[in-house]
Amino acid sequence: MTYKPIKDKASQLNLVVSLIKKAKSVVVATDAGREGEAIAWLVLDHAGWRGPTQRLWTSSLTPTSLAKATKALQDDAAHKPKYTAARLRSAIDWMDGMNWSRYYNIRCTEYGDKTLSLGRVQTATLALIVDRDHAIENFKPQDYYELKATMNVPEGVLELFHAPKDEARIFDKDKADAIAAACRGKTVPLEVTKKPKTFSPPPPYSLPELQIHTSSLWGWSSDKTLEVLQKLYEAGAVTYPRTDTGHLLDEMKTDMPKHLAALQKRPQYRSLATMQPTFHKSVFNDKKVGDHHGIITTEEAVDISRLGPEAEHLFDLVARRFLACLMPEAEGSTTSIRAKIEGHLFSTSGTTITVRGWKAAWDGLGDPDEKKGGDDGDGDSDAGAKDAPTSNRILPPVKDGQPATAEKVDVLTKTTKPPPHFTEGTIIKAMMGAGAKNPDAEIRDLLSNGGLGTGATRQEIIKKLKMREFVVVSKKKLLSTPRARELLAIIRADGNRLCDVLATADLERELRSIEKDPAAAQGVWKKYLGGLNAEMARLKQGRAPRKLTPVATRPSGYGKKPGKAGGARRSGSGQSAKKRVRA
């Protein structure tokens, strides 16, 4: 693979190259990861650099962290294999996109149809959406039954529930009626367990989690969230936005008073920001920090009013989440009450918060973590929340071993529910968790570092799916189009690996091997090209796929020139080069 400078960036690149040629040594200070290593070495290779190279390796850009990393520069030779892995990843993704997009455009579209595009992350993400839509459409609701026993206790009303899960659910009404009849009037001892509980605050936001919350709270697209967050970052109000982790580094603890001092200058945060910070293991964890730490407010009290109300709303989310992570734990207790009636377990539980702790950061506003639930599960959930066996309800102060009589036992009719449609927030969550439920432990491990895509690319993938009109947005829901379903059916019938998240797992396995032994890259590349050519040859010999149903109108934004921000033709890379691949 070779690279050629982009014309309007050539002068900037030439300036950097001229400085490199004068240097006696170079320090690589790009992001601490594969792609950061690639950004540096693409330029260094272009300049012909072969001199001594050191690495500034840090996930934090605070002055304290940068000073510490500068005093502990590493030999970049230990990190350069990441560059080899990143280049191979880039080459394989480029070859897949160019070859498979051209193949299916030629064989599945007519002249004048909208352009198709395929890719390892894009097509697997589309498959998630299409499969979810099929699951919803093919879902057949089914009634099932739970039982509610009203127990006669002097302390007040006590309701216990018999609510078997999954395969143990009761789908036979006669069976439910028989259990209810057998349990009515029976007196049994209560099993009461009460335990004190502390609730640790969540870490600061990662970009994906912030996108999930803004989608749920305000219906924002993932692209819009990053756009507004980028404005805050460029204004100096928040730290680096494109991060997949929310955790902070231990070394950042000493800087926290400076961050709080900046928030004290804002009236709405003054009472919270004057606290003595509490450092939680759930927040400060070096092992969970990737290329960048979580998104927090900076040490500067920047005037963000000029950025508009949307920026102010987003800053408020980031600031309160950051303040919460430095506040004491919330305290309370959990109570579980159980009774075995005629061999059937009835139970309920409740949680009581006695000390607000970090939850006070959201007082009067509502914690987004509590608001966002319920829209991204797999469906088949209980229809009646008010009759849920577990809730924050107030329970009567009954004692362990206390006898109670089932005065009433009612049969509750519930209905299974389909999974919900994806939103922009929940598809990001699904992309991050892709492969997490795979029974193969190796696959789970290979996909544990973000699943499909990265914090810098997921919103671009979603944007592209909308631009191609593979998906449309209706009332915040992402819905697959007939065109997308037809294409996915065709490529699955072809046995194409791009629609499966396992393609990402397989690639990650190869990249990890290259990081251990860069010499393996050539063999991996040859193996990949051999497989691609063989697959193309096999498909060309077979019957041509049917043509897709034409789309009547061009998608929104189709044909517009890409934005010029960044200086690269690869999203999020910052590279001043474009690739030429020779197969």
- Which residues are annotated as catalytic? 240
φ, ψ (nearest 5 deg) of residue 331: -130, 150
Rounded Cα gap, residues 362 and 365, in angstroms: 5
Written as one letter, the residue type at 51 is G
Tokens linked to 515: 């990081």
Rounded Cα gap, residues 17 and 12, in angstroms: 9
Rounded Cα gap, residues 230 and 210, in angstroms: 13
* Residue 410, C-beta contacts closer than 8 angstroms, at least 6 positions apart: 147, 148, 150, 180
3-state secondary structure of 282: coil
Rounded Cα gap, residues 342 and 355, in angstroms: 39
Tokens linked to 504: 């990402």
Rounded Cα gap, residues 560 and 563, in angstroms: 9
Rounded Cα gap, residues 355 and 358, in angstroms: 9
The dihedral of CA 503, 509, 514, 517: what is its sign?
negative
Would you tell me how many other CB atoms lie within 10 Å of the CB of residue 381? 15
φ, ψ (nearest 5 deg) of residue 14: -65, -35
Rounded Cα gap, residues 357 and 334, in angstroms: 17
Sole residue written with tokens 């009646």: 384
Q: Give the angle subtended at the CA of 193 by the CAs of 188 and 198, to the nearest 5°.
A: 160
Tokens linked to 290: 């990737």
Alpha carbon of 174 to those of 63, 144, 184: distances in Å? Answer: 70, 11, 16
CB–CB of 326/278 below 8 Å?
Answer: yes
| Positions of E strands within 301-376 | 330-341, 344-355
